[in-house]
Amino acid sequence: FRSALRHPNWDMGSKVTIDSASLMNKGLEVIEAKWLFNLKPDQISVIIHPQSVIHSFVHFADGSVKAQLGVPDMRIPILYALTYPGRFISDLPRLDLHNHRALTFSDPDIKKFRNLSLAYDALNEGGNMPCILNAANEIAVKAFLNEKIRFTKMPDVVEYTMEKCLFSPSPDLDSLERTDFNAREIALNYINKLHK
């Protein structure tokens, strides 16, 4: 339990730290990238980078790659998001590449960390499925933090909820709110069955 809350590079709060440890944060970022940049799921890939220096990169048609590097501090991208397209002078920490001589990368183990695979499934399914995924994950993480389920059971909660919650291919805001409520109820009921 406690080891999942110890992220080596980021201080993000317990919910986001658990999402990071389970790779759900990467799954949610894949869903965000689809909508922010109008991409297809197969155009978005996840690479594990333990040093947390490279936050994103984009491959261009000419073969070049543009990357965003920085210290692991969310205040920097938040500042940029709030001031775009400008760049404001700040006293936030600066990246010193002399302190990061080795940057490593690996593919995610989607068999071990099923949440990333479930997020791709939700994205490919479309409709209200990403809403179901998110609601179930929030309930699963809360149950884990309250020590009602093991870390390895969180994807089971999400997958079960995705299977049982009513799918809607073209949801409006009202139906998404109902989906969120229903998915949370399904996830809670499943956790209660596990906990007995």
Q: Which of 105, 120, 147 is the last residue of a domain?
A: 105
Domain range enclosing 17: 3-43+110-195
Query: Each residue's pLDDT tens digit in the chain (196 positions)?
Result: 555 555 555 566 889 889 989 999 999 999 999 999 999 999 999 999 988 899 888 999 999 999 989 888 888 888 888 998 999 899 999 999 998 889 999 999 989 999 999 999 999 999 999 999 999 999 999 999 999 999 999 999 999 999 999 999 999 999 999 999 999 999 999 999 987 6
Instruction: Note whether 15 and 141 are within 8 A (CB).
Output: yes
Query: In this structure, what CATH number is given to the domain that contains residue 142?
Result: 1.10.1740.10
What pTM, to 2 d.p., does this model score?
0.86
Closest CA to 77 of 122, 116, 125, 29: 29
- How many distinct structural domains can be found in the chain? 2
For 71, other C-beta atoms within 10 Å of its C-beta total: 17
Same domain as 189, residue 148: yes
pLDDT at 81: 83
Same domain as 73, residue 25: no
**Angle, alpha carbons 69-70-71 (nearest 5°):** 145
Same domain as 136, residue 93: no
Same domain as 169, residue 120: yes
